[in-house]
């Protein structure tokens, strides 16, 4: 069981070494005994907590009564994603880049920070791989020092353009290490290696999830991901751009399903992963575009553009392990999730969302 603030005194973490200094007495707080996933209030760090998935994760953890620290450098995320949490007594927001060290005392760490969309990670590939590698080292250092459990948000991109379909966790992937996507793909592969080596060498309590395509409210409308692109173009009545002929496939998992399984994985004892999490139902990109036009009532037309380099032709998770170990499978169908996402897109001002800028180098 992960340490709590009550029992952390048994394993001092960052206290003065001088024997004459006595620790301050602990104050009883009945709020610590509220019902939560692990029957205790946890002090939880979420890196990338103001991003798309990270903000929904913070929201859920705060709602469950945990003390949540959101760490974000706002390279690709939005303050508006977490502004509604700022008045909560159990939520704290810190602007910080995880490639730099930070001293924190926590029980759990969700390492969600990293540009995850092509439009973002290709804008600054060096920043992207530094976040995956140096950021992981810094967060694993905190976990090692504090005895915290740490979860790595990895990705289906570790499989590259897969030759196995659907992809199982045992598949080692087919990745181009010098391609334009490698900063993200290989960065995440290195992060997984670091997590496993810290686990084997230092007994750090790690968890690894491999996230497949995810969508929902708070997606960055200009991040280059296909769902955001199609909805934005359809609502504007612009032509919808399909790269290639649209026959390439993806599976799309709604954000609520992803947050649920990530929390289950963090609180699952005896299973470290990696585990695929995503929706096993597969759609072509053309089908997604046509469904988006239908649900928005748009007059948009489909146009084709050259397929980007190293773009996978097929991507679908085998989630047998998630079903077995976590008793989980997604519940929200694509049409239902798209409706929720389209409704959210209708409420936002696109002018509030900027692409990455050179200030974040």
- Helices 334-347 and 226-236: crossing angle in degrees, nearest 10, is 60
Considering 110, 121, 159, 184, which one is annotated as catalytic? 184
The whole-angstrom separation of Cα 246 and Cα 238 is 18
The whole-angstrom separation of Cα 277 and Cα 173 is 16
> Which token pair is 200?
């084997």
The whole-angstrom separation of Cα 236 and Cα 104 is 45
Q: Contact at 8 Å (CB) between 102 and 69?
A: no
DSSP readout, 137-156? Answer: HHHHHHHHHHT-EEEEEEEG
Beta strands in the chain (DSSP E): 43-47, 67-72, 91-95, 108-111, 149-155, 205-211, 214-215, 240-243, 249-251, 253-254, 275-277, 282-284, 302-305
Q: Is the dihedral of CA 46, 49, 54, 60 positive or negative?
A: positive
Is 184 among the catalytic positions? yes
Beta strands in 126-239 (DSSP E): 149-155, 205-211, 214-215
Q: Contact at 8 Å (CB) between 305 and 241?
A: yes
Contacts of 240 (CB under 8 A, 6+ apart): 229, 230, 233, 234, 289, 292, 293, 300, 301, 302, 303
For 105: left if phi > 0, alpha if psi spans -120 to 50, otherwise beta; the answer is beta
Active site amino acids: 184
């Amino acid at each position: 069981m992960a340490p709590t603030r009550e029992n952390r005194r048994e394993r001092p973490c960052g206290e003065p070494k001088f024997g004459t200094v006595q620790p301050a007495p602990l104050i009883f707080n009945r709020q610590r005994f509220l019902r939560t996933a692990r029957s205790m209030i946890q002090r939880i760090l979420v890196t990338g907590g103001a991003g798309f998935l990270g903000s929904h994760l913070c929201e859920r953890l705060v709602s469950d009564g945990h003390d949540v620290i959101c760490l974000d450098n706002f390279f690709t995320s939005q303050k508006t994603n977490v502004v509604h949490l700022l008045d909560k007594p159990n939520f704290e927001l810190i602007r910080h880049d995880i490639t730099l060290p930070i001293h924190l005392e926590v029980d759990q760490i969700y390492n969600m920070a990293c540009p995850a969309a092509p439009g973002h990670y290709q804008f600054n590939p060096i920043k992207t791989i530094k976040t995956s590698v140096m950021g992981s080292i810094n967060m694993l250092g905190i976990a090692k020092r504090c005895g915290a459990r740490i979860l790595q948000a990895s990705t289906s991109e570790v499989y590259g353009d897969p030759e196995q379909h659907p992809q199982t966790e045992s598949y080692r992937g087919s990745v181009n290490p010098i391609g334009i996507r490698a900063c993200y793909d290989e960065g995440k592969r290195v992060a997984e290696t670091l997590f496993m080596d810290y686990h084997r060498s230092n007994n750090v309590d790690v968890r690894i999830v491999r996230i497949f395509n995810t969508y929902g409210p708070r997606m960055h409308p200009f991040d280059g991901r296909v769902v955001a692109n199609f909805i934005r173009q359809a609502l504007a009545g612009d032509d919808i751009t399909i790269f290639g002929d649209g026959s390439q496939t993806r599976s799309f998992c709604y954000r609520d399903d992803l947050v649920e399984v990530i929390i289950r994985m963090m609180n699952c004892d005896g299973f470290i992963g990696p585990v695929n999490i995503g929706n096993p139902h597969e759609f072509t990109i053309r089908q997604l575009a046509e469904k988006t036009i239908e649900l928005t009532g748009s007059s948009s037309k489909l146009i084709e553009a050259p397929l980007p380099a190293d773009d996978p032709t097929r991507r679908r998770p085998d989630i047998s392990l998630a079903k077995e170990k976590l008793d989980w499978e997604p519940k929200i169908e694509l049409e239902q999730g798209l409706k929720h996402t389209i409704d959210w897109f209708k409420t936002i001002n696109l002018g509030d969302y900027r692409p990455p800028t050179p200030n974040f180098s």
